[in-house]
Chains A and B, each alone.
Chain A
C-alpha cells in the first residue's frame, strides 16, 4: 500500500505506435505493448508514484483496453498507483466503467484512480453510437450515474443516453466501500472544471499542448468553483498537471537528440520550431537542472497541487532512451522537486489522494458528524 505523499510524481502515456524518425523503424504492436509494460514497471523502480495510460480506439494507438493493461502492471508492481489519461466518459457505458475500475481496485489492492475525459477523436462517438455534439451532456449524465453506482447499493436510473436501470447493483463493490478517486480532465471546457468542482473531485490539466496561461485560467476557475460548492478553500482543491520533458546532462545534447522526434511528432510536428514550442508551452528540453527550474515554478503559477505527470515515451522515442529518461527523472529531478514542493507548503493543502487516505477520511466522517451532534446538544443544554 502506498504511503501518503504531498505530491505524487509519475508518467502518462498516450500509447502511440510511432515510427522512430531517426531509424525509419516502426515497432510492432507486440514490441510497443511490451515496451510500455517495461516503462510502467521501471517508473516504480526509479521511485515514481503514478503510471497513467490513455484510451484510444484507432491506430496508431494500442490502448483500447486500459484496465487489462493496468491489472497486469498492478500484478508486477508494489507501490505504483495505476491511473488513466483519460477514460472516455462520453462513449463508455458508465456501468462498465463502474464495474471495470472497481474490479481493478480489488486486484490492485486500492492502487487505482482514474481521469475522465471526452477524448479528442471525433469518430469515436459514432463508433460507439453517440453524437459528438452531445459531448458535454454525455460527460455530465454518464458521470452522474457512475458516481451513484459506486456509492449506492441499488440504483434506479433513467437518463437520456442509456437504457434505464431498476434496482441495479454494480459489482464488485468499491474496495472497502471507497470509490476510486476521480480526476476530471479537460483542456478547454469550463463545464468540466465546474463538474469537478461540483463533486469535490480532482481536476487534471494536461498542460502539454497550449501555453500555461490557458491552463492557469482553467485551474483558477476550478479552484474558485470548488470553494463555491463548499468542499474547502480554493487552495484545498485537488489539482493535477501534465508536463513534457527531455533531458541530457548537457543541455545542447538534449536539444540535438530530441529535435528529430519533436519535428516529426504526430501532434505538433512540422509546425512551430522546438524553440518556439518550448518558449510557449511547458515542454522543456535541456539539462535536469533546467527541468527542475521550470517545474519547481509550476506551484507558483497554479498554486500548490497534488500530482505532476510527465509525457516521456511518445513520438517514436526508443525504449532504451525512455528508460534512460526515467532514470534521470527519478534520480535527479523528482527528489529535488519533492523538496522544492514541500517548502512553505501551507498545512491546509491536502496530500495527494490515495486509497488509504480516502479510507481514513471515510472512517473519520461519521465521528465528525457525531461530534457535531454532540456540540449541538451541548449548545441546547447551555
Chain B
C-alpha cells in the first residue's frame, strides 16, 4: 500500500477554532478518498499559532528556529498541502501570509494544494479566489478547482442546504485526492548546496 504525506496548515488563532475544525474535516475527507483508492495517508497538522513567535523571529533574523525548520521540511516534503486560514479584513490572515513569506519560493512548486477559509458570513467567500488562489499560483502550486469556505452559519442552522458544507468538502477532497494520487512531483531539496552541487559543471570565471 502506498503512503502519501499530507501536510495541513491551520492559521486559526483561537483554540479551538472553526478554521482548525474545517482543516480537520478537509483532511478527514481526503484520507477517506485516498483510502478508497488504496492509498494510505500520513497526515501532519500544523497550527500556526504554535509557531507564531518563531515565524516573527524568522522574519526579523532570517533564520528558522529548530521547531519552525521542522515544519518547513514537513511542508516541502509533503505530497499534498491543505491550507486553511480565517479571512480577516478582506484577505488571508497576517500570520498566514507571514508564514508563507518564509517558505522558499520554490518549495511548493507542483505541489497539490487544497484551500479552505473561514469567516463570519458568506460575503467573504470570494477572498479564497481573489487573494489566496493567486498566492499559490505565484508559487507554482497546483490548486484544486474547488476551494471550501465555511461561514459561521455553515456549522448550524441557516446553512446552505442545497449544496451543504459536507457536500463541498467531499467535492474538494475528491479533486485533491486525485491530484495527490497522480502527482509526479519530486520534493525540492531544502539544502542549497545539494541543489548547487548536482548542477556543478566547473567554475567559469569569465
Q: Give chain A's interface residues, CB within 8 Å of chain B.
A: 140-141, 143-144, 147, 159, 188-191, 194-195, 197-198, 209-211, 214, 217-218, 221, 229, 267-268, 270-272, 276-277, 280
Q: Which residues of B contact A194 (CB under 8 A)?
A: 196, 200, 203
B98 CB–A CB distance under 8 Å? no
Q: How far is the CA of A217 from the CA of B63 in the complex (A)?
A: 15
Cα-based distance from A329 to B198 in the complex (angstroms):
43
Which B residues are in CB contact (< 8 Å) with A211? Answer: 63
Q: 8 Å CB contacts to A: which residues of B151-206?
A: 191-193, 196-197, 200, 203-206
State which size class the interface on B falls in: 10 to 19
Q: Does B57 sit at the interface, judged by CB under 8 A? A: yes
7 tightest A-B contacts by CB?
A271-B60, A190-B196, A144-B205, A198-B203, A210-B63, A272-B57, A271-B57
Chain B residues with Cβ below 8 Å from A210 are 61-63
Does B44 sit within 8 A of A, measured CB to CB? Answer: no
The reply to whether B56 and A159 form a contact with Cβ atoms under 8 Å apart is: no
Q: How many A-B residue pairs have CB under 8 A?
A: 56
- In the complex, what residue of chain B is closest to A271 when comparing beta carbons? B60
Name which of B60, B193, B203 has the most chain A CB atoms within 10 A of its CB. B203
CB distance from A48 to the nearest CB of B (A): 28
List chain B residues, Cβ under 8 A from A141: 205-206
Interface of A is mostly: helix
Q: Is B105 an interface residue (CB 8 A)?
A: no
B65 at the interface (CB under 8 A from A): yes
Q: Which residues of B contact A (CB under 8 A)?
A: 56-57, 60-63, 65-66, 191-193, 196-197, 200, 203-206
A-B contact pairs, 16 of them (CB 8 A): A143-B205, A144-B206, A159-B206, A190-B197, A198-B203, A209-B61, A210-B61, A211-B63, A218-B193, A221-B193, A271-B57, A272-B57, A272-B60, A272-B61, A277-B61, A280-B63
Contacts of A229 in B (CB 8 A): 203
How far in angstroms is the closest Cβ of chain A from B63? 4
A209 to chain B minimum Cβ distance, whole angstroms, is: 6
B192: A residues at CB distance < 8 A: 188-190
* Docked pose: A332 CA to B72 CA in angstroms: 42
Selected contact of A191 from candidates B60, B62, B191, B196, CB within 8 Å? B196
A271 touches B193 (CB 8 A): no
- Assess the A198–B61 pair: CB atoms within 8 A: no
Name which residue of chain B comes closest to A268, CB basis.
B61
Q: Could you say which of A143, A190, A209 contacts B63, with CB atoms under 8 Å apart?
A: A209
Cα separation A144 to B206 with both chains bound (whole Å): 7
If A159-B206, A271-B56 touch, whether A276 touches B65 (CB-CB below 8 Å) is yes
Which of chain B's residues has its CB closest to A141's CB?
B206
Known: A209-B61, A209-B63, A280-B65. Is A217-B205 also a contact (CB below 8 A)?
A: no
Contacts of B60 in A (CB 8 A): 268, 270-272
Q: Which residues of chain A come closer than 8 Å to B65, judged between CB atoms?
A: 272, 276, 280
Least distance between B194 CB and chain A CB atoms (Å): 9
Return the chain B residue nearest A220 by Cβ: B193
Pick the contact of B203: A195, A217, A270, A272 (CB < 8 A): A195
Q: Name the B residues within 8 Å of A140 (CB-CB).
A: 204-205
In whole angstroms, how far apart are the Cα atoms of A262 and B57 in the complex? 14
Cα-based distance from A379 to B46 in the complex (angstroms) = 70
Q: Which residues of B contact A191 (CB under 8 A)?
A: 196
Whether B61 and A217, one on each chain, are in contact in the complex, defined by CB atoms closer than 8 angstroms, is no
Tell me the nearest residue of chain A to B59, going by C-beta.
A271
Would A276 and B57 count as touching, CB distance under 8 A? Answer: yes
Q: Which residues of A contact B203 (CB under 8 A)?
A: 194-195, 197-198, 229
Report chain A residues within 8 Å CB of B62: 209-210
Residue of A190, A198, A209 near B205 (CB, 8 A) is A198
A190 touches B193 (CB 8 A): yes
Q: With the chains together, A143 CA to B203 CA distance in Å?
A: 13
A164 to chain B, nearest CB (A): 13
- Bound together, the chains give a CA A194 to CA B62 distance in angstroms of 23
B18 → chain A, closest Cβ, in Å? 31
- In the bound complex, what is the Cα–Cα distance between A6 and B57 (angstroms)? 38
Give the complex CA separation of A271 and B52 in angstroms. 12
Closest chain-B Cβ to A140's Cβ sits at a distance in Å of 6
* Given the contacts A144-B205, A198-B205, A210-B63, A217 and B191 also touching, CB distance less than 8 Å: yes
In the bound assembly, the distance between CA atoms of A229 and B202 in angstroms comes to 9
Residues of chain B lying within 8 A (CB to CB) of residue A190: 192-193, 196-197
CA separation between A209 and B56, bound complex, in Å?
15
Measured CA separation A308–B201 after assembly (Å): 32
Q: How far apart sit A277 and B60, CA to CA, in the bound complex (Å)?
A: 12
- Given A191-B196, A280-B63, 7 more pairs with CB closer than 8 A: A190-B196, A194-B203, A195-B203, A197-B203, A198-B203, A221-B193, A280-B65
**Complex CA–CA separation, A182 to B66 (angstroms):** 34
Within 8 Å CB of A198, what residues of B? 203, 205
Nearest CB in chain A to that of B63: its residue = A210
* Complex Cα–Cα for A128 and B204 (A): 25
What residues of A have a CB within 8 angstroms of the CB of B63 in the complex? 209-211, 214, 280
A373 to B70, CA, bound (A): 57
Cα–Cα distance between A330 and B59 once the two chains are bound (Å): 36
Of chain B, the residue at the smallest CB distance from A158 is B206
CB-CB nearest in chain B for A191: B196
Please, which residue of chain B has its CB at the minimum distance from the CB of A140?
B205
